[in-house]
Structure 1
């Protein structure tokens, strides 16, 4: 066992020796609840599957203000696609959870036991920012596969956000967060109300609304993004230029004294270092509301209605637009010499038969005033600093309406639900983008100066070219009808209690539509890379039947079997069983285990997503012209080495479902009052994984994957400018496909101890996850890549994760601390080892009168910077990884709550 786990577990057990000093506690009554992972009503302590219950009251005391923060503290979550990753990407500002590290698309997220619409941008999983935070009462995390009950996506586990069923009174909470360093300040407010007593008045209506505003953390507000030279680009200010793409030149070379420039070996060109212009964390504005009503018609029938709406606006900033491969003529249309045209390294007789003489040359469409391209022209790689950083605002809206009827009839408990779910994401350009044709024309005509200060005419043209507007819209809709019934059967085997059965059916209709705002996208296609004709849409129907049977075999042993059949209109059917057991030979010991199969259907986006060209996420080397980072004879370093190339991405209608097998085996021990120890072994095997081949894998193993490289000839070139598709386009193919498999297994450990003493109550809890193995294939029958403690493919898998909490409460006062630990790993470039990362949170609360509380706390008490990483897979480069650490640093917070 890991040393830190040994120490923490020993502390918890040693504290049991203080029972002589501690007051004797009365046995706690176990509350009867409906547990995630079963369709049969049961008591939490009796479940045969591992479920972690997280109470929101504890999290609010710890200063948690978002679902994203909650998931980052669960040790079974290997990584989370967080809001910070929306910077420079197309996620629409979404945040995702990833249990077991097998992918966010294989973690099922529910709200009150029901699905919500997946994030419409890529359809992979629900956006955690869309969960109505203020209404959450508890979170149940099923750490086991559950396709036999829920169908698709429930391979790694299930996270069920559960709101209050009833509520009376009113409450208001105000909060403020302030990092020690600049940026990242947050303000939050939550308000709730409820009226009506369901038991005496026959109804209850409750509502919660919340709002949160969080400031951005700019790229120059933290220094740890300068630990390596990252985010390099050929598009600079002053610009690089070339005639044949073989060698690039820059008037600032070899000293390269321009904006964030560095010299490149050879001394003829410069590159820009962009991390300072890329936000660490985006600005976000989130508002949500939920209204829920329950009407007790009779003792055997309750009617319910539940609706929520959430809107999240995420604003991201990255470096100014690069205009790469644009043309400049040596002479202006009036016949005069272009005052900005370079003189060094230019052949006045240079011609290109595909360009010279053309009167409408542009990456997107014809100039408004066609200008002939002249012999002796140059290509320039310029960055539009005058118009400022590229700024995008993603408006993400999620809504759901659920109508339900729950009751009993003929000895059956039944539930019937109809839900309408919708997610819409609008991607708006709000700064820094421009009309590429207008700017291209200005460069060609000699109006814009790419090598220095602008004239009044150049400034006016750039301001006129600046454009704001709606770029594209994605919408996902899910309509669901679901009916479930359960009842108790006879005591078939004389175990002292009856068997139980549940049966259910589900009908689901899914719609997906993503399209560019054609007219606007056409104007900004050069600065966004979005095809103005981009349209991706799909629809399908899903029908399912499922059943669960729980049979007590002995007084101490029960066995549960589940089976679900799903039929999809677009690829066929899938049948998935699950078998689990629970064995309790004594009051102090419980054993449990399960075996199941699972599946994940390809999303509509994966199937029908439009194919489009974009840049590689990081800087890579042309495997033929620059093997190992060294250019071959005659090949330009600037055009072939440590740069970004064109990549073709998109959907594939030939995809098949992913398949899985999962196993768990665990035990819970309660050796003394208020002490609980748990261990759960788990294993998951997945085949037919759906993904695009990772960039790092493709470029590092060219001989193996050369069929995905499409070079432009002559010269085996990959495009570094937006000239795709076309005869000069060289690109790498990264379409979705069914790849190989993945295998992972490990252990979840837990320990809880409650000490009741004369000086207050102490609660100690340790939750740990150890990953023994994680291996994956990039393609069918390919070699197995080991991923535990190693950055392989798209990231690392942590060997160990711990979450240790200690809380003390006495009368109106409470103190608490939480320690979060992630083990180190071998980095993207193996010569570096990323150090282990530990952060400590501390809080204190005071409740002077009933219904009121004041919480003061600090997250990341010791102001730990993210550990150094040389990863290049994310847009945010520069020596850290936003998936596993927050850029905020030490953050102080205050929360005030009043209930009446």
Structure 2
């Protein structure tokens, strides 16, 4: 039976109990609830524990984000919402054009990396992404299916196994809904001048009888592609892959990029080719290419999902339940035309019609004073068209199980099957062998590539594909029972076991795998593993106000070995309104299948390196492309962690409460990714790179090539403090709720080195102040989001603090409809341009966004 209620009153009550979430996904934990509410709620399972309990404030630091709070954030998709958590300290990866992980969105709690943050769906782990093999893709999450999000900011390997080092994000999907709900929404952005528009919607139905219930719904959202040229801060690119040549001495390339005589082969009107000075070339110029004219920064994103939940009481003791979700995420990206060079294959012979040292060549330039000799061409194949990539991920997740009573024990067992597939199709790539031959014999004319016949262009052009999967099959079972009575109540025990089979395959087309495709990156990888786990948890309420929780988990991996993770937590309540809590635990992260099995691959990676820029006669802050060799490491070892936390939750008066939690994490034998820009930054900042990884430079200081990949990187130590505070009071006849959350990082060191806190990309603080005022059928929200500044001693410039303001207005109509209009970043704050960890873009793409003012409208109708 559907219950009628005032939506405003309901929203206020939710805010009083769990706090209000701001646009950056700020959520707080309620410190106290009415005893009747707890009794009505009954015992529940919270993230980080398998034992059901009715305690409002437990031994673990958990932030609960309700559905109402998610809607108040103004975000249209779950990935962006989760990425904006203040606990996502250093930001995280999001869909971006030109990447082999184009459609991915991840979260990285504590700045420890996405592979150290475990994402759960209804207490079971989200499968790893087929496109990465190491992280979980938030882009597949259906926004409309989310009931609440629980964030555990503490290690939990003793409960969930591998990857739960930085914390756990548990997505709880909707259930027990009665009636129907329709939501439609749209949003527009002020930056860039074109693109970035958004649409969203969801439909949910729910019905139940005395013994059965069914909920089903669909959810969708999309965001249009954004091109680099449409940002007001974009600077023209000057890639060396334009239309130039380099000379060779004793088999060594001199990297003296030189344009052809009299501007031939460059400065084509309406294209990205243009001539720039180069003091190192024989004629003082080279032909550059402005890739920003055609490349996209933000890939488009689209998510369509169907989800269903069903339960049936077989009898008074047993219940059968099933969950099913199907989601499809699609992303379209555009990258500049293929860059390539004979440097990676065979130099152009002295007799080629395209060799400028050949007197018979139309490109011959006697003023260079060069005898006929072999040279390397460096070319942008603009005549082939832009590289367009479409990535489609389909995930089918089916879960069925039963829960019942056998005597005084609660028993649960079930099975889960997940099909997780990704396909990637790329158009207008280069078949290297064909291109080299056609350039050598002159069929493809470097002096005027646009005049090349269609049959020549088609002979060089190739469509690439990539098919990936990361499937999971799981069997699980558990039993929960009381052991004996203690002064604070019965001691409880939970024992369970899981068997999980993972099947991973990331298959590139044969030409790409053989290195015959120019302009692509990555290579195939494949592997399977079985994981067998047994675990326990015991709760000992020693006194009415003192309890201990002991948990342990043993995991046996078929490929690298086994691990045991213990954890002890305690909760002491000396006063009715004061809780003191603490925990100590050990965790681990298993080497992922992609790292262990991936084949070597090449990438023309865009980086910023002052030495190379100066060596090429450019400004030290230029962006350039370098040769990047990405390698696998089958000898990686698992990493381990030791974690400690201590906190208090206090409600001195009924209108104010707060929590303060200190956390400390130490990771040993660390596994991390070292990209080319990271390797360069480490060199500049005096930080050692792992053995086998680094950049090789020419005598002039320019990068010759970088070797990037994964490695065990010693020890990482980090600690911090989380503060949550909330005020609720009456104001002018309405209700006011104000919340403040601060995530403060105290230190972050590698191998006992310098503190990296406040270094580029790792702010010391992220905070949110959120306010909601409700009056009658109206509610108004105003939020302030803050990202701290970052200082740099070398390589990257400092980044100032970044503060944005969000406003939302809601009107609850008498026909159970709700109108919502809002603005994110109302002041149109630009991200810090060319400041901080800018990487290959103009700003830190993981930490900030470049959308400017986002204006949105949403209508929700409840039936």
TM category, shorter: 0.7 to 0.9
2:29 corresponding residue in structure 1: none
Cα 1:183–1:851 shift into 2, 3 Å: same
- Structure 1 CA distance, aligned partners of 2:291 and 2:124? 43
2:9 alignment counterpart = none
**C-alpha separation between the residues in 1 aligned to 2:822 and 2:623?**
44
Which of 203, 207, 211 matches 1:191?
A: 203
The correspondence of residues 14-163 of structure 1 with structure 2, limited to 5 A, is 29-30=37-38, 31-32=41-42, 33-43=44-54, 45-84=56-95, 86-163=96-173
Matches within 5 A, 1:496-645: 497-518=489-510, 525-529=517-521, 534-620=523-609, 644-645=625-626
Shift of 1:700: 3.6
1:745 aligns with 2:766: no
8 Å CA contact 2:695, 2:707 repeated in 1: no
Instruction: Please list the CA deviations of residues 819-838 of structure 1 after superposition, one character each: whole Å capped at 9, or x if unmatched.
Output: 11000102484572201111
Equivalent residue for 1:836, pick from 801, 813, 831: 801
Which residue is 1:790 aligned to?
A: 759
Whether the 8 Å CA contact 1:563–1:576 is kept in 2: the answer is: yes
1:770 pairs with one of 719, 744, 752: 744
How far did residue 213 of structure 1 move? Answer: 2.4
What is the rounded CA distance, in whole Å, between the counterparts of 2:694 and 2:572 in structure 1?
Answer: 59
Tell me the TM-score normalized by structure 2: 0.87
Which residue does 2:5 correspond to in 1? Answer: none
Paired with 2:69 and 2:246, the residues of 1 have a C-alpha distance of 59
Aligned match for 1:445, one of 417, 441, 454 = 441
Alpha-carbon contact 2:681-2:795 (below 8 Å) kept? no
Match status 1:846 vs 2:811: yes
Bigger shift: residues 141-150 or 117-126: 117-126
- Cα deviations by residue, 1:865-898 (Å, 9 ceiling, x for unpaired): 11123567744x2x31111111111011111111
What residue is the counterpart of 2:225 in the other structure?
216
User: 2:401 pairs with 401, 404, 414, which one?
Assistant: 404
1:414-425 matches, cutoff 5 A: 414-425=411-422
Aligned 1:634-713 pairs, distance under 5 A: 644-693=625-674, 694-697=678-681, 699-700=683-684, 708=692
Q: Is the 8 A contact 1:50 1:144 kept in 2?
A: yes
1:499-518: CA deviation from partner (whole Å, max 9, x where unpaired): 11111111111111112121
* Contact persistence 2:830–2:852 (CA under 8 A): yes
Deviation at 1:710, TM superposition (A): 9.4
User: Aligned ranges for residues 717-756 of structure 1 at < 5 Å?
Assistant: 731-756=705-730
Asked if structure 2 preserves the Cα contact closer than 8 Å seen for 1:770 and 1:799, the reply is yes
Distance 1:681 1:537, change over 3 A: same
The 1:65–1:658 alpha-carbon spacing in structure 2 relative to 1, beyond 3 Å, is same
Tell me what 1:362 maps to: none
Cα deviations by residue, 1:643-664 (Å, 9 ceiling, x for unpaired): 5443332322222111001111
Equivalent of residue 167 in structure 1, options 169, 174, 177:
177
Corresponding residue of 1:885:
848
Q: Is there any run of 5+ residues in structure 2 with no aligned partner, and where?
A: 1-18, 20-32
Distance 2:651 2:848 in 1: 35
More strand by share: 2
User: Is the 2:196–2:851 contact (alpha carbons within 8 Å) kept by the matching residues of 1?
Assistant: yes
Contact 1:614 1:646 in 2 (8 A): yes
Instruction: State whether residues 320 and 389 of structure 1, in contact with CA within 8 Å, keep that contact through their aligned partners in structure 2.
Output: yes
| Contact 1:78-1:798 at 8 Å conserved across structures | yes
Quickly say closer, same or farther: Cα 1:277–1:454, change in 2 above 3 A: closer
Residues 508 and 717 (structure 1), Cα distance of their counterparts in 2 relative to 1, 3 Å cut: farther
**Structure-1 separation of matches of 2:176 and 2:576:** 33
For residues 174-205 of structure 1, the C-alpha deviation after alignment (integer angstroms, 9 at most, x for no partner) is 111111232100112211112223xx2x1111
Q: Shift of residue 617 of structure 1?
A: 4.5
What is the deviation of 1:224?
1.9
**How much does 1:416 deviate?**
1.2
Q: Is the 8 A contact 1:241 1:250 kept in 2?
A: no
Structure 2 CA distance for aligned equivalents of residues 212 and 498 of structure 1:
47
Q: Could you tell me which of 863, 885, 890 is aligned with 2:828?
A: 863
* CA displacement 1:443-476 (0-9 Å, x = unmatched): 2222333344632x445532554333x4222211
Shift of 1:260: 6.1
Say if 2:426 is the partner of 1:429.
Answer: yes
Query: Which secondary structure state, in structure 2, belongs to the residue aligned with residue 302 of structure 1?
Result: strand
After superposition, the C-alpha distances for 1:794-848 in whole angstroms (9 at most, x for unaligned) are xx32111111111112222111122110001024845722011111111111111
Task: State the Cα distance separating 1:118 from its structure 2 match.
Answer: 0.3
Select between 748-757 and 737-746 the one with higher mean Cα deviation. Answer: 748-757
Q: 1:176 to 1:322 in 2, by over 3 A?
A: same
* 1:182 paired residue number: 194
Q: Displacement of 1:62 after TM fit?
A: 3.1
Q: 1:442 to 1:760 in 2, by over 3 A?
A: same
Measure, in 1, the Cα distance between the counterparts of 2:85 and 2:222: 25
Cα deviation, 1:254-286, whole Å, max 9, x if unaligned, reads 998663644334423244443443322111222
SS of structure 2 residue aligned to 1:671: strand
In the TM superposition, what is the alpha-carbon distance from 1:756 to its structure 2 partner?
3.4
Contact 1:116-1:421 within 8 A present in 2 as well: no
Distance in 1 between residues matched to 2:164 and 2:750, nearest whole Å = 19
Q: 1:648 to 1:490 in 2, by over 3 A?
A: same
* Equivalence map 1:163-312=2 (5 Å): 163-180=173-190, 181-197=193-209, 200=210, 202-226=211-235, 232-236=238-242, 238-244=243-249, 245-246=253-254, 247-251=256-260, 259=272, 261=274, 262-266=276-280, 267-312=284-329
Change (3 A) 1:856 1:706: closer
Corresponding residue number in structure 2 for 1:724: none
State the Cα deviation string for residues 617-670 of structure 1 (Å, max 9, x = none): 51447xxxx6x8765xxx9999xx985443332322222111001111111111
- How big is the shift at 1:716? 7.0
Tell me if the contact between 1:748 and 1:767 (Cα under 8 Å) persists in the aligned partners: yes
Q: 1:706 to 1:600 in 2, by over 3 A?
A: closer
| Cα deviation digits, residues 551-583 of structure 1 (max 9, x gap) | 112221111111111111112111111111111
What is the CA-CA distance between 1:857 and the residue it aligns to? 0.7
Question: Would the aligned equivalents of 1:72 and 1:79 in 2 still touch at CA under 8 Å?
Answer: no
- Cα displacement string for residues 92-144 of structure 1 (whole angstroms, at most 9, x for unaligned residues): 41111111111111111000000121011222221011112211100000010
1:327 to 332, 337, 348: 348
In 2 relative to 1, CA 592–409 (structure 1 residues): closer, same or farther, beyond 3 Å? Answer: same
Q: In 2, Cα distance between the equivalents of 1:339 and 1:608?
A: 48
Conserved 8 A contact 2:100-2:521: no
User: How far off is 1:711 after superposition?
Assistant: 9.7
**Alignment length (residue pairs):** 803
> Residues 339-488 of structure 1: matches in 2 within 5 Å?
339-345=362-368, 347-350=370-373, 377-430=374-427, 432-452=428-448, 454-455=450-451, 457-458=452-453, 461-463=456-458, 465-468=460-463, 470-488=464-482
- The change in CA–CA distance for 1:395 and 1:205 in structure 2 (over 3 A counts) is same
Report the TM-score, using the length of structure 1 for normalisation: 0.83
Q: Could you give the per-residue CA deviations for residues 323-351 of structure 1, whole angstroms, max 9, x where no partner exists?
A: 22363765559x9944345554363432x
The answer on whether the counterparts of 1:92 and 1:396 sit within 8 Å (CA) in structure 2 is no
Q: Give the unaligned 5+ runs of structure 1.
A: 1-11, 13-24, 351-376, 721-729, 778-782
Q: Aligned partners of 1:755 and 1:403: how far apart in 2? A: 45
